[in-house]
Amino acid sequence: MGAVLLLLWAGWAYAIPRTELRVETVYHHSYSGNFIQCRVTNEGTLAFSGLEIELSVWNDTLLVEQQSWRPGALAAHQSVKLPSLVYHEPSAFDYQLLLTIRFSDGNGLHELRWASDHPL
C-alpha cells in the first residue's frame, strides 16, 4: 500500500504536466524604512519562460513604491528570491501590496494578479 501511495505522489510531483506557482512574501518595518521580501517557486512540472514579477505598494490610491524584475526562465521545482523592495514611509499607515506575475509555459501565456487582503 505504501509503495502505491509513493508512486501516486511521484507521478503527481514529477510526471503529470501541471503548472503550480507558490509566492511567499514577508513584510518588515522599522524606523529606518520598510521592506518586502519575495520568493517565487515553480512547484509544477512545467518550466516557465519569460517570467516577470511586479510588486507595488499603495497607500489608499497613492503609489508609494513599485519595482519589476525579469528573472527569465524558471525550471520545475526551482525558486527565485527577489531583491527586497524598500520604501521609506511612516509605519503607522496602512499599505496594500499588489503583485503581478507574467510567464509562459507549455499551456501558453499567463498573467496572475494578487492583492493583500489586509493592510501591511
Helices (H) and strands (E) in the chain, counts: 1, 8
Question: 90: pLDDT confidence band, cut at 50, 70 and 90?
Answer: confident
Considering its fold, how many domains does the chain have in total? 1
Does 9 reside within a domain?
A: no
* Residue 13 domain flag: no
3-state secondary structure 47-80: CEEEEEEEEEEEECCEEEEEEEEEEEEECCCCEE
In a domain? residue 26: yes
**Model confidence over 64-82: pLDDT tens digits?**
999 999 999 999 999 999 9
Residues 6 or more apart in contact with residue 24 via CB below 8 angstroms: 38, 39, 41
- State the number of CA atoms in the 13 A half-sphere of 23 facing the CB: 19
Reported pTM: 0.79
- The domain containing residue 56 runs over which residues? 18-115
Is there a domain that residue 120 lies in? no
Q: Is 11 domain-assigned?
A: no
Is 12 part of a structural domain of the chain? no
Cα(112)–Cα(42) distance, integer angstroms: 14
